[in-house]
Amino acid sequence: MEDEKVYVFKAALKQRKKRWFHIEITGNQTLGDFDYIMREAFNHDTWDHLSEFFSGQAWKSKGYGEIDPDGGGSGSEKLISQLALSEGDKLEYVYDFGDDIQHVITLEKIAEPENDEEYPRIISIKR
């Protein structure tokens, strides 16, 4: 079942692609969960600013709905598995609509979950 799979993403700042993170999240987790781990990875605040994931290029492709810093918002409850992603697919993520901090997110693989691991999680970093 896709809900139980682990999605391994490489997330980078759009203007600084040499700084990236590998993030694992399960298909039954939400864009709200993904937003929280993105904020943690990139040291974005968790108490201010809206964000949104896009199916392609930010502002030019379908957005999945805004996410409030507290995890609410129209896009927060969408499951990762509902995005119908395949390996190699790209998303874009915008944090802080005023500053328009854009990120490129690539799905590198879909794997089986590891026993006793908590998701989402950051598994590697390149600063």
Over the chain (127 residues), what is each successive 10-residue block's mean pLDDT? 87 91 98 97 93 97 95 96 97 97 98 94 90
Which residues, 6+ apart, have CB-to-CB distance to 16 below 8 Å? Answer: none
Q: Which domains does the chain have, with CATH numbers?
A: 2-126 (3.10.290.30)
Per-residue confidence (pLDDT) for residue 2, from 0 to 100 = 67
Per-residue confidence (pLDDT) for residue 16, from 0 to 100 = 86
Per-residue confidence (pLDDT) for residue 71, from 0 to 100 = 86
Widest pairwise Cα distance in the chain:
41
Per-residue confidence (pLDDT) for residue 84, from 0 to 100 = 95
Residues forming beta bridges with residue 14, ordered by sequence position: none
Per-residue confidence (pLDDT) for residue 70, from 0 to 100 = 87
Per-residue confidence (pLDDT) for residue 61, from 0 to 100 = 96
Per-residue confidence (pLDDT) for residue 111, from 0 to 100 = 96
Q: In a 3-state reduction of DSSP, which class is residue 48?
A: coil
User: How buried is residue 22: exposed, middle or buried, by Cβ count under 10 Å (0-12/13-18/19+)?
Assistant: middle
Per-residue confidence (pLDDT) for residue 4, from 0 to 100 = 87
